[in-house]
Chains A and B, each alone.
Chain A
C-alpha cells in the first residue's frame, strides 16, 4: 500500500492544524529579530545615559520598564541588547556551520586517512566543554565579542561536522551519485551541486537549534563578566549588572533580561526542531 501512496503525494500529507506553540514561538523569534533590527530608532532613551539619582526606580512614563542600578533605561537596553545578543550567536552559528560542513563533507566524501585525521581532531574538540574553551580563550585574549564567538564556533563545529559526515556517507551510497559519476561529472561538482543541496535542510535545521544554545552560552559568558565590554548593552551583561539590583530588592532590571534570554532560546529551539521534523519527513 505504501508503494501506491508514494506515487500519489497529496494523499499521505497530514493536514494537521499548526500547533499554537509553534506559532507563538515563531512570533517571538520575529519580534526579537525586529527589535534587534529597529532598536536604534525605537529605543525611547539612550541606553547608556547614566542617571544615578534615579537608580533602581520602578516603571514610570519615562522609563516603561524601570531603570537599572546606574539609572539606565531598561527598555532601551533590552532593545539594543537584542542586537549583541543575536549577533553573537549568529556569528557562532554561521562560522561553525560553514566550517563544520566543509570538514564533514571532505571527511565523508573522501574517507580513508583524511577522514580519520579530521574525525579524530573533531573528537578532540568534543572533549572540551564549550564554555570552558571560551573562558580559556577570553582569559588569554581579553574582553570583546570576537574571541568568545570564535571559541564557541570551534566548540560547536564538531556537532555540525559529524552530522554532515554521516549525511554525506548516506548520500554517497545512493544510486544517483553513482549515476552522476558514470555520466562523467567530477567529484567536486557532484558534491557541491547535488550532495550539498540535499543535506543542507537537515544541517540548517540543526544549526537553528544550535543558535539557541549559542545564545545561552554567550549570555552565560557575559554574565560571568567575560564577553562583551562593560558599556555594551547585552542581556547577559545586564543580568550580571543586575546582581546588585536584586540584592537591593528591585529585581526588574535583572529578571527581564533573564526572561528574554529564556524565551528567545526556547523559541529558536522550537522553531528549529519543527523545521528539522518537517525536513526529516519530507526526505525520501
Chain B
C-alpha cells in the first residue's frame, strides 16, 4: 500500500512536499505537517480577536489535541488550517501546512491542498456526507475532480482504504443511510485519507458516536497515523479523551492557548487554573458521588474588550496584575501557574 506514497502523481503539483523518505529520520530538517505561528483572527463586530495569538505545531506522525469549550476558538483554528475562514474575517500570522502558508494561497492552491495534503474529519458524519450519493462516489469525487487520479485508480484506492478502516469494498455501492454512525465516520476517515494527506484535522470526530464506537474510531485513527505517517490535530472538549490519545495537548480559552504540554503531565498536574478547574468540573468515573466544583460565570463575551488574562474574571487566584496584563504565551500562559497535584483542586 505504501510504496505508492512517494511516487504519487500529485507530487508534481506540490513542489513543497518532501519525496525523500529519509527526511523523516532527521527531525531537524523535517517539515511540520502543521505550523501555526501567531495566528490572530478578527471578525467584524467582535470587540476582541476571535483567535488571539495561537501557536501550535503538529509533526508528521504525531497526534496533537486541541481542547476547549464552545467559544474557545478550537474549531476555528482547525478550520483555518484548511483556509476555511468565516466570511469577513481578517487573519494575521501564518498557518503553514507542509511548509506552505494557507493564508496567502490562491483558490486553486487551496483546492489542491484540501484534496491532497490536508483533510478534515467532521463531527457529524450524517451531516457531512451527501445522503443522495453512493459511498463510492463520496470517496472518489475529490481526487477525480482535481484530476489527481483517474477514475479507475481512485476506485482502487477507495477500496483499499475501506479495507484499511475495517469495512468491506461492497460498501462502495451503498448509500450513507444504510450505514450506522460508526461506519459512516470510518467512511469519512477513509475519504480524508484518499488524497494521501500529510495533515489530518479531526473536529470532535467521536462526539456524535457511542462510547464503544468512539474507542474503535480512536483506535483506527491511531493505526492509520502510524501506517501512513500523517500528523493528526484532534479537536475535542473532552480533556480525558485528549489526554488518553494524544502526545501533546493544547488547552484553549477565549481564543488563546492557556497551557500546552505532554498529555499525561497536563492531566496529572495541570498548571493553569483553567485546566485545573476544567478537570475538577468533569464528572469522572473515579471521583466519588457528590458536588462537582463548578466554575462560576461564563466565558467572556465577544462583544466586550478584553484586557489582561482572559480567565481572570473566573479565576480563584486572580490578582490585579492578571486583570491588567495579558500573560505571555508559553507552556503555561499564566502569571501564577499552579504547583502541586490536581488532587488539591
Contact = CB atoms under 8 A, between A and B. Distances in A.
A238 to B, nearest CB: 49
A4 B86 contact: no
B303 A10 contact: yes
Contacts, number: 24
Interface stretch (B69-77, B90-98, B193-201, B316-324): B69-77
A7 B302 CA distance: 10
B76 A8 contact: no
Contact of A7 (B71, B79, B86): B71
Interface string B62-87: 00000000110101100100000010
Given A10-B45, A11-B45, A1 B302 contact: no
A3 interface: yes
B45 to A, nearest CB: 5
Given A10-B303, A11-B302, A1 B73 contact: yes
Nearest to B255: A4
Interface residues of B, number: 14
A1 B75 contact: yes
Interface in A1-39: 1, 3-4, 7-8, 10-12
Interface string A33-56: 000000000000000000000000
B303 A8 contact: yes
Nearest to B74: A1
Nearest to A10: B303
A11 B75 contact: no
Interface residues of A, number: 8
A3 B86 CA distance: 13
B76 A1 contact: yes
Contacts of B218: none
Nearest to A9: B303
B83 to A, nearest CB: 15
A8 B298 CA distance: 13
B95 to A, nearest CB: 16
A47 to B, nearest CB: 54
B239 interface: no
A4 B71 contact: yes
A112 B45 CA distance: 49
Given A1-B76, A1-B79, A8 B70 contact: no
Interface in A213-253: none
B60 to A, nearest CB: 27
Contacts of B75: 1
A4 B303 contact: no
Contact of B70 (A3, A10, A11, A12): A3
- Among A4, A8, A12, chain B packs the most CB atoms within 10 A around the CB of A4
Interface of A: 1, 3-4, 7-8, 10-12
Given A1-B76, A3-B70, 11 more contacts: A1-B50, A1-B75, A1-B79, A1-B86, A7-B70, A7-B71, A8-B301, A8-B303, A11-B43, A11-B46, A12-B45
8 A-B pairs closest in CB distance: A4-B71, A3-B70, A1-B76, A11-B45, A8-B302, A1-B75, A4-B70, A11-B302
11 contacts: A1-B50, A1-B73, A1-B86, A3-B71, A4-B71, A4-B302, A7-B71, A8-B303, A10-B45, A11-B43, A12-B45
